[in-house]
Structure 1
């Protein structure tokens, strides 16, 4: 039983370290991973496995570590939902990229969004010119949302680095 408590504590320590590391490195969107990000995640998971379970490589030890991670994630999401101040610390804010056809070059530069990436997001949603964009935003999940100047207020979303997985909302 004492060994399982150690696994719980180790798993919690690794969980909070990973949250902090992801937040400090500015990785906002884990669903938008490039090749180097996937390699990094795989290597980190391998590196921290022993830190969580220690010498206990049993099925029970692995299940306890996984259960702690799932439970902690569930509890953290509920906590952040109820506490805006903490939510703002963990989550970044949406950022305006284009407003009434005018690009915010300072924000684009700070977020390292290239002209090509922004144009790709626009093309994905049938928008040819910046002047046709009423609002383009980088959402907190890393997607680029676009609202056009069309009368129908067509809103589209572009998932960064995964251009074929997008959602059109008419």
Structure 2
């Protein structure tokens, strides 16, 4: 088993995982619960042998990790440069509340519970649905809310992970 075999195995697993994540929906990316963490750990354990096969050497592991980092770097660059592919991989933002009116069809399709929506509203300091000018499920799986309340700061509800910041100096 050579290094090239590890490269092809990693590529196959990476593509499978990208497709699987795309099919499960964007909401799942930002809202990890205990079951999700267990699933991620089990998947990583399950695909480890598929990527390196019988090669459990340090070199085999480093090659697999390097290939995964390279694939992720290439995917992000390709997504940045190619709008058609970006639209295929990324989902579109979804309106959940517009001028206090809930879009029950969208909430049902996206499997967003009343409790999750109210939690996002509380994080933004909004108590009632009628005080929400716009609530959206963003492409990263977070819920952003713009309030009708005067003096209320507009904010984005970030769940579980901070947003990356650009350091422009």
What do you get for the CA RMSD once the two structures are aligned? 1.8
Higher RCO (C-alpha 8 Å, min separation 6): 2
> Quick one: distance in 1 between partners of 2:148 and 2:32?
31
* 1:157 and 1:166 in contact (8 A); partners too: no
Which residues of structure 2 form unaligned runs of 5+? 164-169
* Residues 44-103 of structure 1: CA deviation (Å, up to 9, x unaligned): 111111111111101011000000000000000100111111111111111000111111
> Quick one: distance in 1 between partners of 2:151 and 2:92?
27
CA drift at 1:153: 6.2
* 2:95 and 2:106 in contact (8 A); partners too: yes
Q: Secondary structure at the match of 2:29?
A: coil
What is the aligned partner in structure 2 of residue 81 from structure 1? Answer: 80
> Quick one: distance in 2 between partners of 1:57 and 1:3?
12
* 2:27 and 2:110 in contact (8 A); partners too: no
What is the aligned partner in structure 2 of residue 143 from structure 1? Answer: 142
CA drift at 1:127: 0.6
Task: Give the count of matched residue pairs.
Answer: 163
CA drift at 1:151: 4.0
* 1:124 and 1:158 in contact (8 A); partners too: yes
What is the aligned partner in structure 1 of residue 43 from structure 2? Answer: 44
* Residues 15-71 of structure 1: CA deviation (Å, up to 9, x unaligned): 001111111222544342111111111111111111111111010110000000000
* 2:13 and 2:51 in contact (8 A); partners too: yes
CA drift at 1:128: 1.1
1:153–1:126 distance in 2 versus 1, CA, 3 Å: closer
Compute the TM-score of the two structures, normalised by the length of structure 1.
0.89
* 1:96 and 1:136 in contact (8 A); partners too: yes
CA drift at 1:166: 7.6
* 1:29 and 1:141 in contact (8 A); partners too: no
